[in-house]
Structures are given as structure tokens and as C-alpha cells.
Amino acid sequence: MAVVEHNPGRREFESFVGRVKPGLLQALVATYGPVDGREACVDALSWAWEHWDRLAGVANPVGYLYRVGQSATRSFVPRRAPIRLVDDNEHRFPDVEPGLGPALSRLTEQQRTIVLLVHGYDWRQAEVADLLGISPSTVHDHLAKAINRLRNELEVDDVERRA
């Protein structure tokens, strides 16, 4: 006879994971690269399962788990940035500027995260602000500085800026 597990907390948790995992994964990958970002996401969601009752009272659970993931990365081999973000995919994305990956790696961690979430994953600036626990105007300022730095470094002029 098969044992049927009846745990409403588990169903609730699985529903929660279905809602938050895509954004959490994108945010951690944008910050730490594909390998460490995925590992941090797994660690954060594992923490969420172990502390499910504690997480229930948190106003911004994705932002909280993002910070849990950040803490988890401290145990990983330190890496400055996901330098291979574009380099590994040059053959699949020939229209991507080859210098973009290294240029992104020279941004601050917060600037790189904001650029990748807004322009790479199409997040709204308010969503990024909520995740990072900063104001939308701070996100806007970091984004503008990062984009200007990338344009200067890659010697790219925006068509809209020329008009």
C-alpha cells in the first residue's frame, strides 16, 4: 500500500517556490554568475524550507531570500563577476558585443546586478529596488551611471542620444 503524504505546509511551500524561484534565480545569477547564482538560489530556497514559519512574517520574502543567497555565496570561491556571461555564448549570440562580458565585470556588483535585471531580464526598476532594499531613484542613478560607463568603455553611441 502506498503512503500518501498529507502536508499542507509542503504544498504551500511548493506554490511559494513556483512564484518566487524564477525572479530569485535571475537576481542571484545576475549578481554572481550562472554557477554561483544557481547554487545561492538552491541554498536560499533550502533555508526557506527549513525556516518556513519564520519566512511567513517577512514583508518581502524574495528580497529576504536574495540576502540569504548573498550570505551563502560567502562560502563559495570568491569571484569578482560572471566574466564568462557573454564569452561562452559568442557562437550562439553573434550580435552581442564581445567586450560586453568583460565590461560588465568591471562594473560594481550592484551596478551589474541592476543592469542585468533591468536590461537582461526586463525587470522594472521598482522591482529591482524592492529586491535590493534600495529606493527606485537609487536604482535609476546606478543604472544611468552603469550604462554610461558601458557606452564609454565599449565606445558605443546610443541612436536616441544622437537624434
The pLDDT value given to residue 57: 83
CATH code: domain of residue 91: 1.10.10.10
CA 62 and chain centroid, separation: 11
Range of the domain at 71: 9-79
Identify which has the larger pLDDT, 83 or 119.
119
Query: Which secondary structure element, helix H or strand E, spans residue 41, and what is its range?
Result: helix 8-50
With bands split at pLDDT 50, 70 and 90, how would you rate the model's confidence at 25? very high
Backbone phi, psi, residue 132, to 5°: -85, -10
Residue 88 and residue 40 share a domain: no
pTM for the whole thing?
Answer: 0.76
Average pLDDT over residues 157-161: 58
Residue 143 and residue 96 share a domain: yes
Average pLDDT over residues 62-73: 93
